[in-house]
Every structure is written in structure tokens, then in C-alpha cells.
Amino acid sequence: MISPSALVGPPGSVGAAASGAPSLRSTILLVDDDEMVGGLIAVLLRRAGLVVACVRNGSLGLDYFNAHRTQIGVVLTDLRLPDMSGAELGRKIRLSDETAPILLCSGAVPPDDWQELLGGRGPALFLAKPFSPGQVLREVRKLLDLANAKSVG
């Protein structure tokens, strides 16, 4: 579990773009109904130099994605949300951008076919809770790099 004490360090010290320039698709859309967990993840990502947009349910996440899709580099969502599952959110996002990078997080064991639940297209990773700050940053960076390679290429 991420604890507030694990979030110490200078801003931009971990996970910032190698060149220091902003990424083409640099916003992380964080969808989590748990205010404490979502808040801690947001602080961690912001301290790593990333822009984070936080919403508390899948409907708001979908609305935000559709309004800002050209800036969204990674959708980081909890698997269990109050109005729809994170997998359902991912499927709906992939209807408008089939290669949107999605990072699903959950304390529950994912079904074997979790990637297929997202529509089976585009980069996706699963991160099991509890996770360390380093794990979150590594997985987000992997997906963000893929999103920006797709934008450039």
C-alpha cells in the first residue's frame, strides 16, 4: 500500500520525461472512487512531474476522456467503480480510441481474460494492490512511452 511517507522526494525526481520536455500525451486520467487511494496516487504521479486529472467514477472518466482524448497518455483506473467496472470503462474508451493505454488496478484477483474484457486492443497492464510507488511509476511510464510513440509515429 502506498503510504504518505513513501511519497517524499523532490518533484520530478522519478518518472519525468527523459528530455525534460512535456510529453505529447502527458495527462494521466486517474479514475478511483477511493478518495484516499486516488489522492495518494495523484500526489505520487504529480511529484514525478506528470499532469493528473482525477475523477471518482467511470461515467466522469469517460466524459473527461472524450473531452480531452488528445492529451490523455494513460488511463489509470480501479477495476471496481460504483457505476461501472474499470474494464467496462476501458471498453467504452476503446470505442473512440482503440489504442488508448489502460492501467487497471485492483485488490481483487483479475479474471484470466482481463485484457479481453477491455476489447483486446491496445496496450494494457494490470497492477495488483497493494503496490509500491515504484511499481505505479514504472507501469505508468511504460504505457505513457507507448502512447507517445504512437502519437509521434
pLDDT in tens, 16-30: 333 444 445 789 999
The pLDDT of residue 49 is above 80: yes
Show Cβ contacts of residue 91 under 8 Å, excluding neighbours closer than 6 positions.
117, 118, 119
d(Cα 96, Cα 93) in Å, to the nearest integer? 6
Domain boundaries, position 58: 23-135
For residue range 89-132, list pLDDT tens digits in order: 999 999 999 889 999 999 887 767 777 777 767 899 999 889 99
In a domain, 100, yes or no: yes
In a domain, 83, yes or no: yes
Q: Which residue carries 477511493 as its cell?
A: 34
* Tally of domains within the chain: 1
Give all strands (DSSP E) within the chain, no chain letters.
Answer: 27-31, 51-55, 72-78, 102-106, 124-128
In a domain, 130, yes or no: yes
Peptide bond into 10 cis (omega under 30): no
d(Cα 6, Cα 17) in Å, to the nearest integer? 21
Whats the size of the chain, residue-wise? 153
> How much is the average pLDDT of 145-151?
77
Q: Is 20 exposed, middle or buried (0-12, 13-18, 19+ CB in 10 A)?
A: exposed
Show Cβ contacts of residue 45 under 8 Å, excluding neighbours closer than 6 positions.
15, 28, 30, 52, 136, 137, 140
- In the DSSP assignment, the letter for residue 26 is -
pTM greater than the 0.75 cutoff: yes
User: Tell me, what CATH number does 42's domain have?
Assistant: 3.40.50.2300
C-alpha cell at 83: 457505476
In a domain, 124, yes or no: yes
The answer to whether the beta carbons of residues 132 and 107 sit under 8 Å apart is no
